[in-house]
Chains A and B, each alone.
Chain A
Amino acid sequence: MIEESQLSEPQEATWCIGCGNFGIRAALKQAAIKLEVPHEELVLISGIGCSGKLPHYINMNALHGLHGRPVPIATGVHLANEDLKVIVITGDGDCLGEGLGHYLHGARRNVNIAVFIHNNGVNGLTKGQYAPTAPRGYESKTSPPPVGSPMMPVLPLPLAIVNGATFVARGFAGKRKMLIDLMVQAVQHKGFAVIDILQPCVTYNHELTWKYFNSHTYSLEEEGHDPSDKTAALEKAQEGYDNLPLGLFYKAEKPLLKEGLAIPKDGKLRMKENDLQKLQEIIDRRVIQ
């Protein structure tokens, strides 16, 4: 239902030449078309970072908000209109540093949104400091040698699985077909869907490069991994940078957040008012006789 021309970039992308974000954007365009939904029903909610600028480079409804807060914003958008397909575009610093709490709570609420983490191991926009996903020892301006980053990386996928997310996957900006496929599935999935997207930052990250990811990743599907097996998924999701699995780790069906809330039957809060007669009854019950 969406034509490629409808998505054409409102502004010319300011990403560095060779940046992984281009591959992610290209995949997102194809996924949007494949989803076969009306153009107006797609919404991007992005954080702050190189990744967070994506909504300006693809023509879709969007709210480009605050650093770390796209998950709660997306939750509000989704609950106010459940027809919308709400996609969070977030960086690893955004989602797993500043916004880690929201990420975990989004997962345990199983709120029906899709979260695409542009994982480049660095805070790109602030010029290359180590991000929460950087491996221990990663050297940057704020994690100088000899020690480099003095801590273990955050592992977004095991966290998501343990905390209740119901669609957990990893993609790579350089494996377009697989990424498109995962994006379509994540958006269609009913529940909290996460894709950890390996996104080379050509300017600042000289360890996690295109070449590195091409030679240090493998396909879960080809290995015969069963995404309904939570234990196996959790084990796979903890495998480190030496050899990263790609594809769908875990998928399950669980009650959705909105099923526990008093959202009107048509799933929309947009421009609604309250039934004043009912409210009057509620107030009248309080009148002292």
Chain B
Amino acid sequence: MDLNFNIGGVAGQGIDTIGDLLAQLFVGACFYTHTIKSYRSRIRGGYNYTQVRVSSEPVYAPVDEIDIVIALVKEGITRQRDQLVDGGVIIFDKSIEFEDMESCHFPAPLKETAEEVGGSEKMTNVAAVGTLLSVLNFPFSMIEDALSVVFKKKGDNIIQKNIDVAKSLYEYTQKEFKSKCRHDLTDAEKGACRDWLLLNGNEGLAFGAMAAGLKWISAYPMSPSTSVFQTIMQSAQELEIGALQTEDEIAAINMAIGASYAGARTMVTTSGGGFSLMVEGLGLAAMTETPIVIYDAQRGGPSTGLPTRTEQSDLMFLLFASQGEFPRVMFAPKDPQEGFEVAIRAFNLADRFQIPALILGDQHFADSILNIEHLDVSNVEIDRGKIAPDDIEDYKRYELTEDGISPRAFPGDKGKVVVSTGNAHLEDGHVTEDPIVRKAMVEKFLKKTPQILEEMQEPRIFGPEDAKTTLMTWGSTWGAAYEAMKILSSNGMSINQLHFCDVYPLRDETLRTIFDTADQIISVEQNSTSLFAKLVRMETGLAVHHEVNKYDARPMTARWIMKQLKEAGIE
């Protein structure tokens, strides 16, 4: 079973709640889900949709074909009907005037029942869920259980009303919707049911950061990064995390640098525009060797661009941001689970090498919701790097050492004076323009990169190692490319996928092997100029054979990728 539901409405109609509710219901019944949110940068009005893909097998990306549309406004019907599969269903509120009816169209009294049975128009979303599940012949008892869990906090009365509304439409639909476009999930095959979390990428990242010992976060809201900051904010009291919304991103990064200088693990979160403002601070963190984790949730650029849409176009910007040369690490997690893991690694590497660690997400990573296995924080390893012993005499913050890494100390440490500066400095942190010292300090930086490289992970190969064709991806486009690779592979094509999470510094062993074994390497990126393929070429001299680019700021699907390949004659 692999079904795709599209819930369309205008902002303010609670289509998110329907999506969340559906995902929770199906996950509760041990199905796999993948939810995307397509929304505009506005608070009220404007057609938005949430799309929930439900499957008995793990799913990693959205699909183009829709099985059932729930339309709360007319646009939900008109905009999505082209994507409907044969026999696809459109459920819409009776009040919507729509003449061009087909047999699988089903006008239902959603609002009316919500008001009459539930006493509030707000329950329209539960009404829609009741109708949809009835069309699927999904056992009502399961819905009842799920609603009890979802509305637990709101009390028995509300739970009962929601159940009544859902039931009323469930029964109405059983009676009135006589068409053959029904599905039968009475005994749909279930996935292996485990402790499942429904998380988006930003939440996975936020939990990882908290597990890693984040103690300070300062940020200024910017889509699509904000939910990282908000998720941490919500747990700040319980975990005693210092968190502050600042006047701007410049203040955010400088505050974080101050807190890190004084010994706290710190992170800032933003999107491209905010990162632009942070760039001078990035250089200060680098020059003062103050660890910091920076999260950039990419969106369509340049400038304000597309605040709520997806793109992978900040890669080179982050790689080269700031004047001067210094070591940095960059990660691009593909999904919530990897977001969690990458956050922990980023904090550890930032501390060990006293460098900025940059995490690139994008709107697709940030907002897509997947069910992942339980996150266990009990085994998290925290590495704060070299810390100066208590009894050291004549402490020097930038002592020249064999490996280029000087032990850290913090203001307040007895018997030590800790001096840091963004100016070129001596070992003791005081300014100098001496050419010999300058050279030594630059070499101190240079020594770090090979050590960092050892900690970076090789890209992963999915599919057969010796395939003739390789799809090369990074970050959130993994899912769609993975599914495309799987389909093509099962159709008999010799194809695999080479996927990067650690994007800089770049490990090239596996990359070189793939370039040796495969006949053609195809980069698949959510941008127009194949930035990652450029990075690979810059670092290794290896050039891909073909580039696939999506730059309409909407996430990829397997079908879209396959179409591009076909058009390019790659089969």
A residues adjacent to B (C-beta < 8 A): 10-11, 38-41, 43, 45, 53, 55-56, 59-66, 69, 72-81, 83-84, 101-102, 105, 257, 261-264, 268-276, 278-280, 282-283, 286-289
Contacts and interface: CB of A to CB of B under 8 A. Distances in A.
A13 B387 CA distance: 31
21 contacts: A40-B413, A53-B431, A56-B430, A63-B420, A63-B421, A65-B288, A66-B281, A69-B281, A73-B255, A76-B255, A76-B266, A79-B259, A80-B260, A268-B263, A271-B263, A272-B215, A276-B380, A279-B207, A282-B238, A286-B197, A287-B195
B482 to A, nearest CB: 24
The 9 closest A-B pairs by CB, nearest first: A76-B258, A270-B263, A80-B262, A269-B264, A76-B259, A76-B255, A61-B411, A64-B421, A72-B254
Interface size class of B (residues with CB under 8 A): 35 or more
Contacts of B375: 283
Interface string B414-452: 111111111100001111000000000000000000000
Contact of B239 (A59, A76, A274): A274
B264 A105 contact: no
A261 B243 CA distance: 7
B367 to A, nearest CB: 16
B254 A65 contact: yes
A116 to B, nearest CB: 17
B259 A80 contact: yes
B354 interface: no
Given A80-B258, A81-B263, A72 B420 contact: no
A244 to B, nearest CB: 29
B263 to A, nearest CB: 3
Contacts of B415: 40
B248 interface: yes
A157 to B, nearest CB: 20
A283 B216 contact: no
A246 B430 CA distance: 33
A66 to B, nearest CB: 5
A65 B247 contact: no
Interface in B124-161: 149
Contact of B431 (A11, A43, A270, A279): A11
B258 A72 contact: yes
Contact of A76 (B262, B376, B387): B262
Interface string B173-189: 00000000000000000
A142 B387 CA distance: 47
Contact of B422 (A60, A66, A287, A289): A66
Contact of B258 (A45, A55, A280): A45
B412 interface: yes
Contact of A73 (B197, B258, B263, B431): B258
A140 to B, nearest CB: 25
Contacts of A257: 244
Give the dominant DSSP class at B's interface: mixed
Given A40-B412, A64-B422, A262-B243, A269 B216 contact: yes
B281 A288 contact: no
A62 B28 contact: no
Interface string B232-257: 00011111111110111011101111
Nearest to A61: B411
B248 A101 contact: yes
B350 interface: no
Contacts of B263: 80-81, 268-271
Contacts of A274: 210-211, 213-215, 239-241
Nearest to A41: B412
A262 B24 contact: no
B417 A56 contact: no
B515 to A, nearest CB: 40
A289 B193 CA distance: 10
Given A66-B281, A288-B197, A75 B258 contact: yes
B326 to A, nearest CB: 15
A264 B239 CA distance: 9
Contacts of A60: 417
B236 A262 contact: yes
B257 A76 contact: yes
A6 B541 CA distance: 55
Contacts of A72: 218, 246, 250-252, 254-255, 258
B257 A73 contact: yes
Contacts of B416: 40
Given A66-B280, A262-B240, A264-B240, A272 B213 contact: yes
A263 B217 CA distance: 12
Given A61-B411, A272-B213, A283 B377 contact: yes
